[in-house]
Amino acid sequence: MSDQSWPLYPPSFLGILGGGQLGRFFVQAAQDLGYQVCVLDPDPESPAGQIAQIHLQANYDDQDALLTMARTCRAISTEFENVPANTINFFVEQGVFVAPDSFAVSIAQNRIKEKLFFQQTRPQTGVGPVHYHVIEQATDMDKVDLEIFPAILKTSQLGYDGKGQQTVKDFAGLREAWQSLGNVPCVLEKKVDLAFELSAIIVRGFDDEVHLMPIAQNIHQNGILHLSMVPAPNINQHIQDQILRAAQVMIRELHYVGVMCIEFFVLKDGTLMINEIAPRPHNSGHHSLDSCVTSQFEQQVRTLAKLPLGNSKLMSPVVMLNLLGDLWTDGDNKGVKSSPNWNQVLAIPTAKLHLYGKSEPKIARKMGHINFLDESVDLALESANRAMEILGFTTNKE
Ligand code: ADP
Ligand code: MG
Structure confidence by residue, pLDDT tens digits, 16-47: 999 999 999 999 999 999 999 999 999 999 99
Cα 8 from Cα 76, distance rounded (Å): 12
Ligand nearest to the CA of 223: 1
Q: What is the model's pLDDT at position 333? A: 58
Q: Identify the band that residue 347 occupies on the pLDDT scale cut at 50, 70 and 90.
A: very high
Does residue 81 have its Cβ closer than 6 Å to ligand 1? no
Amino acid at residue number 343: N
Does residue 149 have its Cβ closer than 6 Å to ligand 1? no
What's the gap in Å between 276 CA and the centre of ligand 2? Answer: 6
Q: How does pLDDT run across 162-205, given as a tens digit for each residue?
A: 788 999 999 999 999 999 999 999 999 999 999 999 999 999 99
38 bridge partner residues: 15, 54
The predicted model scores a pTM of 0.95
Cβ-proximal residues to 217 (8 Å cutoff; 6+ apart), any chain? 196, 197, 198, 228, 229, 230, 232, 233, 234, 235
Q: What is the model's pLDDT at position 330? A: 63
What's the gap in Å between 161 CA and the centre of ligand 2? Answer: 7
Rounded mean pLDDT, 334-346: 85
Ligand nearest to the CA of 187: 1
What's the gap in Å between 165 CA and the centre of ligand 1? Answer: 9
Tell which one of 163, 265, 267, 366 to mutate to probe ligand 1, the residue whose CB is within 8 A of the most ligand atoms: 265
Tell which one of 165, 196, 261 to mutate to probe ligand 1, the residue whose CB is within 8 A of the most ligand atoms: 165
Does residue 131 have its Cβ closer than 6 Å to ligand 1? no
Cα 206 from Cα 158, distance rounded (Å): 28
Does residue 276 have its Cβ closer than 6 Å to ligand 1? yes
Q: What is the model's pLDDT at position 151? A: 97
What's the gap in Å between 114 CA and the centre of ligand 1? Answer: 14
Cα 16 from Cα 30, distance rounded (Å): 10
Q: How does pLDDT run across 4-22, given as a tens digit for each residue?
A: 799 999 999 999 999 999 9
Rounded mean pLDDT, 271-297: 97
Ligand nearest to the CA of 157: 1
Amino acid at residue number 270: G
Please give the residue that has the higher pLDDT: either 320 or 2.
320
CA-proximal residue: ligand 1, atom 8 (nearest): 162
What's the gap in Å between 162 CA and the centre of ligand 1? Answer: 7
Is the fold of 131-190 the same as that of 194-391? no
CATH of 131-190, one of 3.10.20.30, 3.30.1490.20, 1.10.8.60, 3.30.365.10: 3.30.1490.20
What's the gap in Å between 363 CA and the centre of ligand 1? Answer: 19
Give residues whose Cβ lies within 5 Å of ion ligand 2.
Answer: 263
DSSP letter assigned to residue 387: H
258 bridge partner residues: 204
Cβ-proximal residues to 237 (8 Å cutoff; 6+ apart), any chain? none
What's the gap in Å between 181 CA and the centre of ligand 1? Answer: 16
Q: Identify the band that residue 331 occupies on the pLDDT scale cut at 50, 70 and 90.
A: low
CA-proximal residue: ligand 1, atom 5 (nearest): 162
What's the gap in Å between 349 CA and the centre of ligand 2? Answer: 31
Domain boundaries along the sequence of the chain = 13-98, 131-190, 194-391
Atom of ligand 1 nearest to the CA of 193: 25
CATH class of the region 194-391: alpha beta
Cβ-proximal residues to 378 (8 Å cutoff; 6+ apart), any chain? none
Q: What is the mean pLDDT of the chain?
A: 94
- Max intra-chain CA distance, the chain: 62
| CATH architecture, range 13-98 | 3-Layer(aba) Sandwich (3.40)
Cβ-proximal residues to 122 (8 Å cutoff; 6+ apart), any chain? 128
Angle at which helix 21-32 crosses helix 296-304, to 10 degrees, equals 70
Cα 26 from Cα 243, distance rounded (Å): 26
Does residue 24 have its Cβ closer than 6 Å to ligand 1? no
